Amino acid sequence: MNKSISTDSINQWVEERTHLVSDIQAITDATVPAHVARNPMYLLGSVTLVAFVLQAMTGIMMMFYYDPSTAGAYDSVDFITYQLPLGWLVRGVHHWGASAVVVLTVLHMFRTYIFGAYKKPREVNWLSGVVLLLICLGFGFTGYLLPWDQRGYWATRVGTEIAGSVPVIGGYLSQLMRGGPIQGQFTLTRFFATHVLILPLSITLFTAVHLSQLKKHGISGPLDPAAKPEVRARVPLFPNFLLQVAVLAAGIAGLLVYLSAIKGAPLEFPADPTNTNYVPRPEWYFLFFFQLLRYFPGALESIATVLIPLFIFGCMIALPFVDRSAERRPWKKPVTTAAGIFYVGAIVILTALSFT
Ligand code: HEM
């Protein structure tokens, strides 16, 4: 054989078949606006994406050992946590990672809200984001039941009862969630299928929509329409932006490992449907909702379960169509800024009150 194989010929072979070389070149040549690389708040969307990938990876690892049956779920999670080599780490990162995803998604959403990034032409970017937020909460709700321990069992029981109290369609809703009149194997199967199939497929689809919108419109420009040319300049995506994403993502991953080692992922006693003394407690990011329910007892319950959530999500969907001015500086649009701070403040206060 007299023909030597050079790097160039390998590159050419790969390029002709896959376009991989030019795709990598496009990333290394890409640029971002200077104001994006300067403000860490613009890192949040990308870091949320990395956190989701970590959730998918740890989730897939646990799927090799998890048994989605009421007879075996608890023991399989117990095995992952206490016997499988590094199982505690995989489950711990998945557990704490779920909270990280919620925090990052909400912070990212708050950034786009406060900076008016939902405005024309980014309405679809915002709307797909609202769906992503719902999917994110859906992951938290369905994942909670999977260990089939007391904590998940009773919190889900409360959750399906709340759904059951919705006027007119409540009965169908709770039946749909439970797969029958009681919480048992069909419930676990439905939550499992939703958690590992329906939600991952949905999140992939809506993330694709979200990012394709980003590609189409680019990231929103500087807040100040009279920004200086150096703010409007473009800087290389790598290292100026991607390196910051990598450092922040590595820091968060380190925190998740630390929390897994120090606190681990909780696993209580196996689910006992006869133990009605157990005080149900949801994941911390649903606590504000539990607290809200306390203020609307009996016949008023549907105000908290239906009217308030519908109002909030209705506002989120209507937002880009109602707030149509070109102004994006938070201090120049005091009504939307004050509304955002009010909602966040209310959620923080309700969460804090739920501990009292
Ligand atoms: C799964 C969760 C999400 C992921 C992975 C994600 C990812 C991203 C990424 C990578 C960007 C570009 C970088 C940045 O602006 O930080 C972005 C932009 C954007 N996202 Fe998200 N996002 C998510 C959830 C949301 C939510 C919940 C909303 C709002 C309801 C939202 C609204 C937007 C908007 C409006 C932009 C355009 C920002 C601009 O042009 O300044 N996203 N998203």
Q: Is residue 74 a contact partner of residue 194, using CB atoms and an 8 Å limit? A: no
Residue 2: pLDDT over 60: no
The pLDDT, as a whole number, for residue 3 is 58
SS (H, E, C) the chain: CCCCCCHHHHHHHHHHHHCHHHHHHHHHHCEEEHHHHHCHHHHHHHHHHHHHHHHHHHHHHHHCCCCCCCCCHHHHHHHHHHCCCCHHHHHHHHHHHHHHHHHHHHHHHHHHHHCCCCCCCCHHHHHHHHHHHHHHHHHHHHHHHCCCEHHHHHHHHHHHHHHHCCCCCHHHHHHHHHCCCCCCHHHHHHHHHHHHHHHHHHHHHHHHHHHHHHHHHCCCCCCCCCCCHHHHCEEEHHHHHHHHHHHHHHHHHHHHHHHHHHCCCCCCCECCCCCCCCCCCCCHHHHHHHHHHHCCCHHHHHHHHHHHHHHHHHHHHHHHHHCCCCCCCHHHCHHHHHHHHHHHHHHHHHHHHCCC
Pick the atom of ligand 1 nearest to 44's CA.
16
Atom of ligand 1 nearest to the CA of 106: 27
Atom of ligand 1 nearest to the CA of 41: 16
Q: Which residues line ligand 1 (CB under 6 A)?
A: 42, 44-46, 48-49, 52, 105, 108-109, 112, 117-118, 122, 125-126, 129-130, 132-133, 136, 207, 210, 214, 219-220
Contact by Cβ (8 Å): 191, 142 = yes
Structure tokens at 316: 């989120």
Indicate which residue's Cα is closest to atom 31 of ligand 1: 129
- pLDDT higher than 80, residue 19: yes
Return the residue whose CA atom lies nearest to atom 13 of ligand 1.
Answer: 45
Tens-place pLDDT, residues 221-265:
999 888 888 778 999 998 999 999 999 999 999 999 999 999 999
Locate the ligand 1 atom nearest the alpha carbon of residue 133 and give its number.
27
Cβ proximity of 112 and 118 under 8 Å: yes
pTM: 0.94
pLDDT tens-digit readout, 68-111: 999 999 999 999 999 999 999 999 999 999 999 999 999 999 99
Specify the fold of 31-353: Cytochrome Bc1 Complex; Chain C (1.20.810)
Tens digit of pLDDT for each residue in 160-207? 999 998 999 999 999 999 999 999 999 999 999 999 999 999 999 999
Averaged confidence pLDDT in the chain: 95
Show me where the domains of the chain are located.
31-353
Name the amino acid, one letter, at 181: P
Centre of ligand 1 from the C-alpha of residue 183, in Å:
36
For ligand 1, atom 6, name the residue with the nearest CA. Answer: 45
Question: What pLDDT score was predicted for residue 46?
Answer: 98
Q: Is the peptide bond before 330 cis (omega within 30 degrees of 0)?
A: no
CA of 117 to the centre of ligand 1 (A): 9
For residue 1, what pLDDT band results from cuts at 50, 70 and 90?
very low
pLDDT, tens digit (0-9, with 9 covering 90-100), for 63-74: 999 999 999 999
Tokens of 322: 């109602």
Kindly calculate the radius of gyration of the chain based on its CA atoms and give it in whole angstroms.
23
Dist. CA 237 → ligand 1 center (Å): 17
Portion of the chain with pLDDT greater than 90, in percent: 93
CB of 136 closer than 8 Å to CB of 97: no
Residue with tokens 């911390």, as numbered in its chain: 284
